Amino acid sequence: MHYSSRLLENAVNEFSKLPGIGEKTALRLVLHLLAQNTEDVGKFSESLTTLKREIRYCKNCGNISDQEICEICASPKRNRELVCIVEDTRDVMAIENTNQYNGLYHVLGGLISPMDGVGPSDLNIEQLVSRVATGEIKEIVLALNATMEGDTTIFYINKKIKDYPLVISVIARGISFGGEIEYTDELTLARSIATRVPYSG
């Protein structure tokens, strides 16, 4: 595109690097910000640089946090014997939003993916093994994506911790609420029949 300003072009290029943002969308976002007052643009930029400068990762679970130990790990109301393993902070947020889980988390920071060059050592797995070794944990719930990368990671983690005296479970896979059997893929349907549960009225 023909830009009338190098500065504008530069800002649009930076925005275009964001995932799912093309050049036209980037231009729309930059022009929107340019139309705001200087203070608001400053607040926008500042929120990012402050985040990058001051963000910490919880020493216990690896989740994004403002303190050394995150709010969840620090809470006395949480069941410390139950730990849910997730890929990243978005999964923690999704599970917290259900209001149905009362244990702690362990955030891996990714999934094993040889195609993307991500191996076990790039993830927060050693720290998990240390947590398990303390003997405080009674159950590990693996809540990872139902993909090849998720399954590989589950396999690897299971191998690392299966000799400790604890229960290892994975979240149930099956038909979603509102889902129709007719449109469910074969793998999911087969699994949901094989892992059927007693009807509880």
CB of 87 to its own copies, least distance (A): 11
Tell me the CB-side half-sphere exposure of residue 22, using CA atoms within 13 A. 2
Rg from Cα positions in the chain: 22
Judged by CB under 8 A, the residue of 22, 31, 116, 158 near its own copies is 31
Cβ neighbours of 154 (radius 10 Å): 20
Asked if 187 touches its own copies (CB under 8 A), the answer is: no
Q: Are strands 139-142 and 167-170 parallel, antiparallel or unpaired?
A: parallel
Distances (CA, A) of 139 to 76, 80, 135: 18, 10, 11
Asked if 193 touches its own copies (CB under 8 A), the answer is: no
> What one-character DSSP code corresponds to residue 162?
T
Q: Which is nearer to its own copies, 60 or 166 (CB)?
A: 60
Asked if 21 touches its own copies (CB under 8 A), the answer is: yes
Judged by CB under 8 A, the residue of 22, 34, 155, 162 near its own copies is 34
CB of 93 to its own copies, least distance (A): 5
Cβ neighbours of 8 (radius 10 Å): 14
CB of 189 to its own copies, least distance (A): 28
**Residue 168 is inside which H or E element, if any?**
strand 167-170
Asked if 79 touches its own copies (CB under 8 A), the answer is: no
Asked if 97 touches its own copies (CB under 8 A), the answer is: yes
Asked if 200 touches its own copies (CB under 8 A), the answer is: no
Which x/- pattern, by CB under 8 A, does the window 38-77 give for its own copies?
x--xxxxxxxxxxxxxxx--x----xxxx---xxx-----
Asked if 90 touches its own copies (CB under 8 A), the answer is: yes
How many residues touch its own copies under the rule CB under 8 A: the total is 58
Burial class (CB in 10 A: 0-12, 13-18, 19+), 118: middle
User: How far is residue 70's CA from residue 59's CA, in Å, rounded to a whole number?
Assistant: 8
User: How far is residue 120's CA from residue 149's CA, in Å, rounded to a whole number?
Assistant: 11
Which positions lie near its own copies, rule CB under 8 A? 1-8, 10-11, 13-15, 17-21, 25, 27-34, 38, 41-55, 58, 63-66, 70-72, 88-90, 92-93, 96-97
